[in-house]
Structure 1
Amino acid sequence: MNNFQLKRLGLLMEPEPGNPHEVGGVLNPAAVRGPNGNLYLFPRLVANDNFSRIGIARVQFDDAGDPCGVERLGIALEPEADYELQANGRGGCEDARVTYVERFERYLMTYTAFSRSGPRIALAVSDDLFHWRRLGLATFEPFRGTDFVGVANKDASLFPVAIPNHRGKLQLAMIHRPLFPGSLPEETDCDECSRMVDLEHESIWISYCPMELDGIAPKHLGLFNSHHRLATPVEPWESLKIGGGTPPMMTRHGWMMLYHGVHAEESNDAANRRLCYSAGVMILSKEHPRTILYRSAEPILTPTDPHERDGVVENVVFPTGIDCRTDIGQPDRFDVYYGMADSRIGVATLHVPTQLPTTIRPIVDPPNSIVPLVPTLSEVPVESPTS
């Protein structure tokens, strides 16, 4: 086997009839093993007026070891802080990712806090996955004229171990995707077969934060800095936008993360073209995760199932949770938990190949920061020079 192979296992979770917390959908869960070895999901639960909470559910498995259902266990976080609340009683704690950070010996959650100012990355910490303490919003230093302060930001996830920054200093590393004005897929959609991509403003980034120890648990996190532009839209399936997906997990080849890409489906009516959210794989170097070793030329998951094509937002598969199946003796198997049309949660199993598929040598960015998006990987850069 020399390609990434993904197989759908089916629908895992959908809105519970009569549950007011879920009338608008259940979607985009974090997935993490607890201290007792159980697997827990932290799905986004959407109530009326798009009021979103982060729930807790225990995954159930069948005799073959495949996930087959969930047991709802309550609420992990609901909008309470100023940075989670909007006007008229609305608010959001959304799209969590949870990572056990070995240095802190604690679980850290990144999630989207949706306030009057728009979506921002927020963090919380827990000893046991059931009791969470807010750490506030992530803060960022400017970088070479790019200012992340005051910019919408989503789809953040953390590495489980300290990662060397550009100077080799071991720090807490976070994947994130700032949403600069003009970089939403609805805004970048156009009729032309190629377009100009702003590398600074349309990319996935890695940023680093010092890991101070006070006892063991973090009281707060400092500024994220040492920014590095990781990846920008390249292939047709991701031509309008790319962003984070599952937290990085170590594989035989290096750090693996699934990420999402957006394109517009072909249509004779350009004004009514539908967006399509798909998912691909990225492998980052174990020693220097700023280096991309492999990246999907084609998506490994695209909306084809009716649950993925019809829902609150049509044509969406959105991976956010991942679980390595060492518990059943399969270290190359990863179960992927993903949102289906912003309405339900599906699960698929991904097998990592024994060898990485052949990929094209990365090309260094040109001196200007805007390049045309074209349908071949060899004609555009996939990563920036070392910061």
Structure 2
Amino acid sequence: MTPADTADRQAAERTGGAAAQSGADQRSFPWQDRPAAVQDAVWRDSRNPIIARRPMPGIQGIYNSAVAPFGDAYVGVFRTEDYNRFPHLRVGWSRDAIEWKFESDPILFANQDHDPADYAYDPRVVQIDGVYYITWCGGHNGPTISIARTEDFRTFERMDNAFLPFNRNGVLFPRKLGGKYLMLSRPSDDGHTPFGDIYLSESPDMVHWGKHRLVMRRGGGEHGQWWQRTKIGAGPIPIETADGWLMIYHGVIDTCNGFVYSMGAAVLCKDDPARVLYRTNRHLLTPDEDYEVFGHVPNVVFPCAALHDEATGRLAIYYGAADTCTCVVYSTVDRIVEFTKANSTVF
């Protein structure tokens, strides 16, 4: 670890501080024990989908969304779709990260006039040095990675887009490395893309992005891995572990009946996250339940957020199911890392 990395970590600890720990002590972490009959590395919440179809008036679906600890509870930035299927971002609040109450209006940016033509979907949320950053696939000069910042989830400041069109799946790391912000993304085109690889970019100020490096490619057919042969994309905010950065991602196969989205994992080098140490050669989760198989877009498991309880290692992973509803699976960080190391093919 470089001196700059050490300084970054110390700054994060100072700004996270006692207030964050006090909130964590009071917060109710979402959890269900693994059923005895389940031997998989992850297991579904028995209440799935936790956000069902038509969860509030005028909204037909909430899915592919971000959640994060906030004070002594949880906050979420959710992809919500009106009956015209146009996606917006909307804030939600929860005491237990299972039952959510949503703001009546979409997010508006204090420094930008609202443009109804700007779609917004698949957000992620991360706290870095006391500021919450939201990234999403935005239609403002896009599709590409849009960024906003907030400290209270009441007032939001729109920042410059990170990249030129076209790009999707912008996922920030939870702290700086070498004094730089890091972001995973997937360069693409304007449709269901033939581009399908994950890249890493860095920035000194969350405005100027460069040093774009390939992290890992789609494919795997030569290794007998059809589940991720069409495209891949980073999911929740990476989790720092003793083995490296745990990156949960989605992998896609194109079948004679359309795309199938599944969940996988990789472990990236802690000091150089562009280097993959381990990568699952089989999926962690694939559409099996009716709410994953049937919906507006069938056969989709799309992870976008994860809550990590550092004291116990417990992990709650949130995913969109069939582009219709929101679900949760559980595991522990150690269990997923060990699964990834035991079932790894890096290519």
TM-score under structure 2 length normalisation: 0.78
Q: CA deviation at 1:222?
A: 2.7
Q: Which residue of structure 2 lines up, in the alignment, with residue 153 of structure 1?
A: 167
How large is the Cα RMSD of the aligned pairs?
2.8
Unaligned runs of 5+ in 1: 62-66, 140-148, 165-169, 189-200, 212-220, 363-376, 383-387
Q: CA deviation at 1:14?
A: 2.3
Q: Residues 361 and 307 from structure 1, CA distance in 2 versus in 1: closer, same or farther, beyond 3 angstroms?
A: closer
Q: Which residue of structure 2 lines up, in the alignment, with residue 119 of structure 1?
A: 143
Q: Residues 228 and 38 from structure 1, CA distance in 2 versus in 1: closer, same or farther, beyond 3 angstroms?
A: same
In 2, Cα distance between equivalents of 1:224 and 1:297: 31
Q: Which residue of structure 2 lines up, in the alignment, with residue 54 of structure 1?
A: 89
Deviation by residue 1:296-315 (Cα, 9 ceiling, x = unmatched): 11111111111111111000
Deviation by residue 1:270-292 (Cα, 9 ceiling, x = unmatched): 4xx22100010111122221221
Q: CA deviation at 1:358?
A: 7.3
In 2, Cα distance between equivalents of 1:339 and 1:48: 18
State whether structure 2 residue 194 is matched by structure 1 residue 209.
no
Q: Which has the larger radius of gyration?
A: 1
Q: CA deviation at 1:202?
A: 3.1
Q: Which residue of structure 2 lines up, in the alignment, with residue 145 of structure 1?
A: none
Per the alignment, in what secondary structure is the counterpart of residue 349 of structure 1? strand
TM-score under structure 1 length normalisation: 0.71
Q: Which structure 2 residues correspond to residues 228-377 of structure 1 after superposition, within 5 A?
A: 228-233=213-218, 234=220, 235-265=225-255, 270=256, 273-326=257-310, 329-330=311-312, 332-353=313-334, 356-357=338-339, 359=341, 377=345
Contact 1:97 1:321 in 2 (8 A): yes
Deviation by residue 1:103-161 (Cα, 9 ceiling, x = unmatched): xx21111111124x54111100011223211012113xxxxxxxxx3x31111011111
Q: Residues 81 and 340 from structure 1, CA distance in 2 versus in 1: closer, same or farther, beyond 3 angstroms?
A: farther
Per the alignment, in what secondary structure is the counterpart of residue 202 of structure 2? strand
Q: Which residue of structure 2 lines up, in the alignment, with residue 175 of structure 1?
A: 184
Aligned positions, number: 301
Q: CA deviation at 1:11?
A: 1.3
In 2, Cα distance between equivalents of 1:84 and 1:261: 34
State whether structure 2 residue 122 is matched by structure 1 residue 95.
yes
In 2, Cα distance between equivalents of 1:80 and 1:309: 39
State whether structure 2 residue 64 is matched by structure 1 residue 28.
yes
State whether structure 2 residue 123 is matched by structure 1 residue 138.
no
Identical-residue share of aligned pairs (%): 25
Q: Which residue of structure 1 lines up, in the alignment, with residue 177 of structure 2?
A: 163
Deviation by residue 1:235-282 (Cα, 9 ceiling, x = unmatched): 3101011112111121232211211111134xxxx4xx2210001011
State whether structure 2 residue 70 is matched by structure 1 residue 70.
no
Unaligned runs of 5+ in 2: 1-38
Contact 1:42 1:76 in 2 (8 A): no
Q: CA deviation at 1:359?
A: 4.8
Contact 2:109 2:156 in 1 (8 A): no
Q: CA deviation at 1:357?
A: 4.6
Q: CA deviation at 1:325?
A: 2.0
Higher share in helix: 2
Deviation by residue 1:30-50 (Cα, 9 ceiling, x = unmatched): 11111x131222110001333
- Asked which structure has the greater RCO (Cα within 8 Å, sep 6+), the reply is 1
Q: Residues 181 and 136 from structure 1, CA distance in 2 versus in 1: closer, same or farther, beyond 3 angstroms?
A: closer
